Structure 1
């Protein structure tokens, strides 16, 4: 080999050795979650193979339990994709139609809501008033989905005529959970467990209710206050299931992600319905399907509630997914997940 070629090879090898690996860059991006505070669990999976699977920081500060791939976080609005999937499964079963009026299943809804269909609830086009804005200010007992319906029953207005606009609606997804119960004859949590979680092997995932099974590897939520972390795990809306009451881990969520590529759970037409843009949102770069936000070549959803901030970002055409679950009120994880995804795209 000529000397010049040898020198060129040496320069190339030195440059490659000096270039940080994607995994090392991931740790840099995740540094804020590491250490002695509340933490996070991170999964990067491509073609079904985990590229990154690790925990940072602590799931329980008081007991000093480290975050791990098995840690179960309250998913908050990441739960909405499971609520949507439950509705789609019932449509596959012939138990309901997406064109059904919501009042067919929930006649307690006010007459002003008569035109709202199930598909409009799925895509946040129903126009229901936000239940958080009409719940009594002195509420101390956590609300359930049925309590949300009771609040909706007392309203006599909508934000807009159904199907004419978009407004993100937690109450709409609480109504969907109740429709799942009515159409299936099972509790929402039992339907999810029997039709989604157990068939996929998501044994640590559940829609949590106080009288039901405990969360197996539970992370507790925290918020920073004056430089100190304070446990802020539950609020008066944390017990509403349809809009955000599911707990899961990255080890279980990877099974969910895999099932979205084939017919083991949802049919091809159901998956297409979930991932089809049905409406523009209040962000010009984002459209909404059924339980999923859609941006360019990615489908994603974030979830935030008191003490938890989460996101799942999928690039179906690349078979790449990033799932970042955290038990702290800050930072917002979507940009971090995008930065991590771009290391592997």
Structure 2
């Protein structure tokens, strides 16, 4: 039986990481007819989690929200009308709880965990049964907790446009060593594609090569890395997919790398903002598709999990793992970019 109270973090204000407040005796949520009570075992952090308490997240946030979108845990109890799960099942959270299939709409975009809806940085949580997926059998708790946002975003970038879905032999350009980029590298290699990765250090370059990157470009040493990436493709035609995480500061180089009819998937803006950035005309001049995406839907999540099991893909988890009580320290560690891959919180 679940306890009646448990540890839970909330975001109270927009004053930075001091806005994170720990309640050690928060009430465990009641289980409704269609709800699933989950004992959270592990949570992974995203850049989004860091900017919400700083007041810099561009989408909706509820006052006093429980932060965290990514989580893996055990089903402790189910409501009377639940059919998808049973007690003891291992599950992973869906980011947009209402995004079950197809494209986002006005309703489903407003169901993000840890922003609009209470998230995962707590010991026990209830979710509508539609907002969970079964955990891949080949992963441990920490690995599984990384799938919700970073993995599904990478999967959507490579397979979300069905007419332009990644094919064996094509080339993918990834940026840096964050969670989305590393997942894109792993998925692309499993699909028989070539990967050109960019990074800022020799140490990280060696790790990218160990993960299967065919070429690694140091973007600090080679400022024109987009053209260089293009020159590394067959016939110098360019890459079919760019997983764009830098945003305005890297977009010009991504456009230089892209192949005619290629796809640039804009994931985020970790490079910051810049007034000096490409225009819509540059998309026309490069004859490419530029798409913004927000994670993915549950059907894509289930497809991805099957691929993870079949190819025995294991997420890259940072060697340092924090416990729930030291969440603020984990935020600082990630903000200072000390992590490689996904940074995880051990909850249970």
The structure that has the greater radius of gyration is: 1
Higher helix share: 1
User: Higher relative contact order at CA 8 Å, sep ≥6: structure 1 or structure 2?
Assistant: 1
Do they superpose with TM above 0.5?
A: no
Higher strand share: 2
TM-score (norm 1): 0.31
